[in-house]
Homo-oligomer: A and B are copies of this chain.
């Protein structure tokens, strides 16, 4: 078509212009040729690995025999010479099994998904690390994904399992409830959840690992009371594990007949914490201690207080949750509650692997995990 147009024009225009046209034409053609050849080169190079067939040919045996030897199945039933020949061929050819073909056949991918709300939140890397350690030891690879706590994205990654891309899921789900998860379990996808409040095992075989955040908050509050504080405020975001922590805080105060003083903010970030603290102070409230629903917010609170020239912990003590790495690094260092994320991740992975290899069957198990208050200089 291009060429026809060009030819048509060719006949109408004078020689000089023709030269220009010809030039343009040549450029076009040659660029197309370059593109095509490049594509050919790329295609030619693409993933050109030796297959079992190649190995079989070189070793002078059938492809099936190669498969048998490589999978070690019936290892006693194949002659040493054959095995040797095959191994040699594998070595020479640099044979690597094609993952997709194997997965298609066996219906196993040997990979797990670790679904977290936000990889940028310093709480999660430690968790992920724990998962990876156990999973890899069991021969599974881990793919880590951030969902921003959006239900839609959480579902996306669960669907990957349904498409046969992953064998199981470990997740911190903000948007999805057990009702949403059930279809996946029904379809045979093992799921392990990490939760922030007490769970009981149910008929659906989802395993839960939970930290009793309500109790933790209660303990932390009681700890502050025991240090002599009586006006203790709480600052929290909305959603996630925050509300559970607020509940615990409330309980502790009630049992001592102290008044709750709660300031919420939309974001559970440093900025959110600072904002809430300012709002609290501006209301004329003058607590002697502030508990923030996570460390990020607690650090924000600290900054806000320092900005007002208030000394920590002398005038106002501050405590948080999560024991993120920065908690140790701020000044004064932050009193907080650790959930042993690393171990939590490891246990979750362990449970998932058990489901996967059939060691564990039956209804869902709920396992409580420990927490601990870490007292530092901010209280």
Contacts and interface: CB of A to CB of B under 8 A. Distances in A.
Interface of A: 38-39, 42, 45-49, 96-101, 103-104, 107, 109, 111, 119-120, 122, 125-126, 128-129, 132, 141-146, 159-160, 162-165, 186-189, 270, 299, 306, 325-326, 329-331, 358, 361-362
Given A42-B358, A119-B129, A125-B125, 15 more contacts: A38-B361, A39-B358, A42-B188, A45-B186, A48-B187, A49-B163, A49-B164, A96-B159, A98-B104, A100-B109, A119-B144, A142-B143, A144-B144, A326-B330, A329-B329
Contact of A163 (B96, B119, B126, B362): B96
Give how many copies assemble into the complex: 2
Contacts of A103: 100
Nearest to A97: B163
Given A48-B187, A49-B187, A329-B329, A128 B119 contact: yes
A268 B111 CA distance: 32
B120 A187 contact: no
A334 B128 CA distance: 28
A125 B119 contact: yes
A165 B299 contact: no
Contact of A326 (B98, B145, B329, B361): B329
A214 to B, nearest CB: 28
Nearest to A326: B326
Contacts of A329: 270, 299, 326, 329-330
Closest 3 CB pairs of A and B: A331-B331, A143-B143, A45-B188
A111 B162 CA distance: 16
A103 B291 CA distance: 51
A98 B163 CA distance: 5
A328 to B, nearest CB: 8
A130 to B, nearest CB: 11
Interface centre among A128, A163, A186, A187 (most CB of B within 10 A): A163
A120 B109 contact: no
Contacts of A361: 38, 42
Contacts of A146: 129, 132
Contacts of A144: 119, 143-144
Contacts of A46: 107, 188
A262 B65 CA distance: 61
Nearest to A101: B104
A231 to B, nearest CB: 25
A298 to B, nearest CB: 10
